[in-house]
Amino acid sequence: MRPGNHTIDEQRQGEAVGPRSGTEGGRKLYLESYGCQMNFSDSEIVASILGEAGFTTTQQQEEADLILLNTCSIRDNAEQRIRHRLQHLKGGKRKNPKLKVGILGCMAERLRDQLLEEEKLVDLVVGPDAYRDLPRLVEEVEGGQKAVNTLLSREETYAEIQPVRLDDKGVTGFISIMRGCDNMCSFCVVPFTRGRERSRDPKSIVAEALDLYNKGYREVTLLGQNVDSYKWNVDAKGNVKDADEPVVRFAQLMDLVSDVNPDLRVRFSTSHPKDMTDEVLEVMARKDNLCKYIHLPVQSGDSGVLKRMNRGYTREWYLNRIAAIRRIMPDCAISTDVISGFCGETLEEHEATLSLMKEVRYEMAYMFKYSERPRTLAERKFEDDVPEEEKGRRLAEVIDLQRVHSRERMAAQCGPVYRILVEGPSKKDSEEYQGRNTYNGVVVFPKGDAQIGEYVYVQTTKCMAVTLRGELISEQEAQEVGYIA
């Protein structure tokens, strides 16, 4: 699965991040991230804060003085996976009694002291808004105590912290533009673990994008739980932050970031159907470096289920948003998230999800069985009454249908010449490179004299199950035959 996806534990499970080895001397930090892109982005902030405190990151777990797991709570199986991982770390602590182990992120926030009680090897528990406190907490832990900080903040955006980029290719990077979520979807634990929504100063976002560009990066992904409600100058309570500055919403922010350089591609995640405006779509349509790809989670195709989910839109509203995308950007790729077996979901309601999928024909989808989460609205209000086996059966139907649509969409992308950003060697054959087209489709091609981090032109010739194959052509040839930017 390609990196840099949405809030999905299934995609990115416990990747160790950081350069192959730290510089000599100093203490060594082994940082492992689970779950969403936001967590991977947060880990880069953690590496920066602890870097200031004298830590260097390592990919060798054995040489670490401190192991931190940046965790995910979105579904129960995400948490179980991390519990298993903790069991494995016990051996490491036996071999090196000085080793300290900490839990960051959503599980830290959700379970707090309970984690220290249940998992004896855990020394440190730090929630997503408390990373600035890490140097002090680590000191406490090194002094032999256990340390916890899970305070959530209404202001923290880590705006001026320069993330230490942990992806060693240096081509694509994440930029967090906001934190938290105010939506209160009834199934979702995020508002409890990541707190209230707050947006980050656009100047610091643009500065970060420019810095990445100057360092050779050619793609940034703007991250937020609900990017469409990005808003600067007016805070969540409606107070004006800085009277002489205009309000910057997501559409204007995208305009600003895309102006950093025409050769810097801009992607974003995640949009919310209830808030996605035509204005955003129009900005996307105007600029080639704003990639023609939208992740628009639907969750269910039935208005009754959507109401129970507290999603704030109906099936009709959602389909109207899809129609707006198709009207403004007829070629835009669209992906989604689907939950199967939500509380009270009838067979008819499940069928409505399948029929919506047939109407939209998504390029791609992340699909899950409903997993009840403590403290959520759904846990308090509804019964988790679809049997596990039935959830599995419905999910399998959703997955099978999506497979058909993904193939169909991939085949439709085959044929044109694309401008591709070279990201690195292909996963299957190191003699080939891979990159993505504007639609986020992966394109594989023989290396030729292409370089990682450069744009190339690829004539697509063949459609595989989940990728396109093609041949390099020159810029001049591409201009002659026409290409998709």
Q: Given the rule CB under 6 A, which residues bind ligand 5AD?
A: 6-8, 74-75, 187-188, 297, 299, 337, 339, 368, 370-371, 373
Near ligand SF4 by CB under 6 A: residue from 105, 163, 191, 341: 191
ω before 270 within 30° of 0 (cis)? yes
Q: Taking Cα atoms as reference points, which of 227, 331, 304 lies closest to residue 270?
A: 227
- Residue 227 interacts with ligand SF4 (CB under 6 A): yes or no: no
Residue nearest to ligand 5AD (CB): 337
Nearest distance, CB of residue 309 and ligand 5AD, angstroms: 9
Phi, psi of 190, rounded to the nearest 5 degrees: -55, -45
For 6, other C-beta atoms within 10 Å of its C-beta total 17
**Which CB atom, from 272 or from 419, has the smaller least distance to ligand 5AD?**
272
The encoded tokens of residue 345 equal 């979901």
Q: Closer CB to ligand SF4, residue 66 or residue 185? A: 185
Asked if 73 is part of the footprint of ligand SF4 (rule: CB under 6 A), the reply reads no
CA-to-CA distance for 259 and 277, rounded, in angstroms?
A: 20
First-residue to last-residue Cα distance in the chain: 24
Report, in Å, the least distance between residue 376 CB and ligand SF4: 9
d(CA 259, CA 128): 31
Return the residues of window 332-351 that contact ligand SF4 according to CB under 6 A: none
* Partner in contact with 35, chosen from ligand 5AD, ligand SF4, none, beta carbon below 5 to 8 Å by kind: none
Pick what 181 binds: ligand SF4, ligand 5AD, none; C-beta below 5 to 8 Å, kind-dependent: ligand SF4
Position 150 contacts ligand SF4 (CB under 6 A): no
Task: Draw the binding track, 230-269, toward ligand SF4 (x: CB under 6 A; -: no contact).
Answer: ----------------------------------------
Query: Which strand ranges, in their side-by-side order, compose the sheet holding 265-269?
Result: 172-176, 219-223, 265-269
225 versus 438: smaller Cβ distance to ligand 5AD: 225
Give the contacts of 111 (CB within 8 A, at least 6 positions apart): 118, 125
Q: Contact at 8 Å (CB) between 61 and 105?
A: no
Q: How far is the CB of 272 from ligand SF4 (least distance, A)?
A: 6
Q: Which residue type does 231 have?
A: K
Cis peptide before 56 (omega within 30 of 0): no
Does position 177 interact with ligand SF4 (CB under 6 A)? The reply is: no
Closer residue to ligand SF4, CB minimum distance, 184 or 234: 184
Phi, psi at 7, each rounded to 5°: -75, 65
Does 226 engage in binding with ligand SF4 (CB under 6 A)?
yes
Determine if 435 is a binding residue for ligand SF4 (CB under 6 A): no
Half-sphere exposure of 118 (CA within 13 A, CB side): 13
Binding status of residue 272 toward ligand SF4 by CB under 6 A: yes
In the numeric block, which tokens belong to residue 468?
């396109």
Pairing of β 178-179 and β 219-223: unpaired
**Cα separation of 105 and 86, whole Å?**
15
457 binds, among ligand SF4, ligand 5AD, none (CB under 5 to 8 A by kind): none
Based on the shown chain and the rule CB under 6 A, indicate whether residue 185 belongs to the binding site for ligand SF4. Answer: yes
Choose the binding region for ligand SF4 from 22-30, 178-186, 274-282, 354-362 (rule: CB under 6 A).
Answer: 178-186
Residues within the interface to ligand SF4 (CB under 6 A): 181, 183-185, 188, 190-191, 225-226, 272
